[in-house]
Amino acid sequence: MDVEQVSQHEMIFNTYDGLSVQIKPYKTIGLLLSGGLDSSVLLHLMNKANTSSKYYFFTMNKGDNSVGHVEELLTYHDMGNNTYEKVVINLDEYGSDDRYHGSEKESTGAWKLIYENYWDKIDVLYNGNTGMPTEYLESSTLPVDRTRSIKAEQKYTKFIMPFIHINKSHTVWLAKKYSLDNIIKYSHTCTEQADGSCGECWQCKERMWGFNYHGYEDVGIR
């Protein structure tokens, strides 16, 4: 079976190679929504497993226009009876710790805002991070280090990364399986520019690899 419903709403989504993604129902849910493909595919699965939940979407205000891309992508999601509140993380305020740089600084800022203002309001915090590709990808930037996120998942029971054991080839496959053409088209992956794709950064290379793995055409313009 492609999808196994193991309780009233809890669902297990099987992928092309036998790996599966488990999504449980919660009343109030936080989601780190970046404007990229992975977190948007995760939101689609969440909407299948949750029928009357309140979401908090946390998006970092970065130079890649994540806030704008999220706003656009949300118009293509069928939320059903689920409701949501958008929360913009201003990194000038919450990512100002000079001990951290780059992605570490961003994640520290996100955690600071969520933990101080929303931690007690949510039952779970989802992150759409995936694991590494099955082969080395040469790019102009370094691969994203998931070590901090994995440690956080081990420390906080509320923090869950349903995709961390799969990779971009799986999320691409799920997007195609569920005909998420507009999600593919308008999701923004590149971290070097706000629109389009530089084709050289790690995120762009990883996305290309995910589509090429299945011989799919990436119809995305972002």
- Within a 13 Å sphere around the CA of 35, how many CA atoms are in the beta-carbon half? 25
Mean pLDDT of 199-205: 95
Rounded Cα distance, 55 and 31, in Å:
7
**Which pLDDT band, with edges at 50, 70 and 90, does 33 fall under?**
very high
Rounded-to-integer distance, Cα 135 and Cα 16, Å: 18
How far is residue 177's CA from residue 168's CA, in Å, rounded to a whole number? 14
According to the model, what pLDDT value does residue 137 have?
Answer: 95
Find where tokens 């593919």 sit. 184
pLDDT at 32 over 90: yes
Q: Report the relative pairing of strands 11-14 and 54-60 from DSSP bridges.
A: unpaired
DSSP E strands, the chain: 3-5, 11-14, 20-23, 28-32, 54-60, 83-89, 124-127, 159-160
Mean of pLDDT over the chain: 91
Q: What percent of the chain has pLDDT over 70?
A: 89
For residues 103-107, average pLDDT:
63
pLDDT at 100 over 60: no
Region for residue 80 given its phi and psi (left: phi exceeds 0; alpha: psi -120 to 50; beta: otherwise): left
Indicate if the pLDDT at residue 174 is higher than 70: yes
